[in-house]
Structure 1
């Protein structure tokens, strides 16, 4: 399956896939020809989309003990029937294998089925929703063949759901969720959680005051970790799940320039950092400053450790300075992030400074467009210079 890492129970239409069933039997007659047939949704619920497996003709089954033995069927393709009561990503499909088998003159049909899976088109949004369905079903269904599970999906006990969510982070980024992480998520979902708290399917995967569901938000973070922040998360440099109220509580008693890295609650797949500044007089309250969240768009061009190293703030004297001095709780910035910095471009490294606007993206360099045609060498030299993030107070 392309583009579905570690999500094996999600298939795409018109895409190749491989499936394999193994059966241990005693063969009295090795010359007996056995054939296996494959079917999809032999007893499909009313309203489900109907699919065909393009090579569903019987396949002869081998009898040798080969480690890679099995039969593959290249593609599943289909079109939806009349719109059913369930969303596309809530339809659970089954592939059934049947085998004609003879034993001591007795002929019989042996049958087995796959685990339920979801069929989607080429849509990343559908992939995320489909995986939410797979998680919910495998977490709560007592019947492995219940294709109507999402007609009335049961709520999930919070302790069990917390374990599943932590496993997702362990699987993607090799570090699960801490007790503090889970407590923040529980408060976000349930208000005042308890061991008896339960969460509905709709609140997990559909509802959301910010314009997206809790699962869409969490899955965006998983994607961000997998693509850009896996090592930082694994090594514990990202605090991650911290509410704005909690981050102020954590930073309030720390030195000026202490910062923490957390996931954005308002931007899908966004990560930001917040730092504290104490006034010199000591009379006013400390100020907490944060940057517009970075997403995979920015991090594809510049790694987060380099952003932190090169981040600049315009002071009152209009002199750029880096306000990020200590990673929470008290680790010097370069001590924490130097193993992850990319190599510096020596020489005119800071000639390519760019301001970071309110939308979070660096302004397009004007120097490059002003170069005369044909000066390719100078253009390459400019492109190799390191950009500095500059913002104003």
Structure 2
């Protein structure tokens, strides 16, 4: 039987004792950002906890930082020790009276970007998403390009435009090709989302040292939800021959809470069989993904439920591929899955797919018709995963509202 927390309302719930995600928060009384762990609708202040003797001396300094990077860099032994200690603290009523004074209600806290982003890499790991785009853009050819089933296709994004959930997104401007031929400059008219799952690197590597997929958990600290906003008209004109650039680099939103990998142990799921078999450096002793059920809401209307479980390329394979050429990992690196899409029409994780290139608009909000995002639109991504003993892990939400392009 799974232990429960003395924090009122925490269990059962998406932020119960089996979850304990990490984030960074501040309050009006104390505006300095500090690390906390969420339990139910409360945040336990780890900076305050580290002021005493609760953590071992070599761990305490990490919780006096303003971001998770120092703690993430300590690696799995520290992550597991702290998780064990926090589980004991929040389940044993002998700690209740003293520890309750270190709790802050979530609705009274200001939440920040949880870690300093070092590098950002975005993949293209869903076969359904890649095939849908192939059918849209190359209707007379095979949906998948020849390389797609041999390697996890990806590109390097812009770490400086990764923003926390709730940050408004300004409509980007750029070059685009009009239907009748001329090239023009202006605000994107085909602004889109990509519902994704991101993975945060804790332990880095030296330059020239590839990472084996079986060592995934030795380097990756946890997972976050990601919305990789995309300007499809800008992207369509610029991407040949070098790939995404300005159509992707203006904003990428991530969740406030980083879910530790250990919290997702019960969500491990067998990944799809790969044919052809991948090359040796991409082969896994234990091939698994995660059973995450995602939700996309557009102006309050749920329009899609993408399933992460069916992703063709696993997070471990993505990590192995991005380092196979000797590229080093750094604490705070973020790599994302690319759009998560399933086989069904209501499982598509981008509006480009959902509206089939804008030809099949959807109804959102109070009966409004949408093909792509309009100014004032709000998108909310959420995800849940199975936890131990039938519990549910909630990965929080990622929300963003579109603001007009600058004049």
TM-score > 0.5, shorter chain as reference: no
Normalising by structure 2, report the TM-score. 0.22
Higher strand share: 2
Identify which of structures 1 and 2 has the higher relative contact order when contacts are C-alpha pairs closer than 8 Å and 6+ apart: 2
TM-score when normalising by structure 1: 0.23
